[in-house]
Amino acid sequence: MIPDRIIEQGTLTTDGDRTAVEVRLPWYRALPGSCIAGAKLSVDGIEAPADSLRWRMNGREFRFEELVDETGEWWFPVDSAVLSGDLPVSADADHEVRVDLTLYIPYIIISDTETLHIEEHDVKTMKAVAA
């Protein structure tokens, strides 16, 4: 719905081996953690390994499989979450960052067994800052 606002400009950080970026919800209403079905993080065309990805919101960090039943933590449109992964990136250089998100929208029912899911992505160029 609002894909050009997914990546927060200027939030790319790295410690040399692990890279993170702040992301915003591309939907107009808050969603529980269980509706965050997955994400991908790529820098300069190189994708972080799926098993290394972590999602941090409200001060808690999750693997995506831990979010499946998470109804206690909510992602609000005004709050940034942090997506990180094992991806070596040099600090103080410009990088092309891509984030892909898959979200379920629990209150839009498509059939007896399916709710709406959206797949959105954003790409921005920014400098990485040492963490």
The pLDDT tens digits of the residues spanning 41-90 come to 999 999 999 999 999 999 999 999 999 999 999 999 999 999 999 999 99
- H or E segment at 67? helix 64-67
* Measured distance CA(51)–CA(107) in Å, rounded: 29
Residue type, 93: A
| 40 closest CA partner among 93, 104, 97, 94 | 97
* Measured distance CA(80)–CA(94) in Å, rounded: 22
Say what the pTM is. 0.94
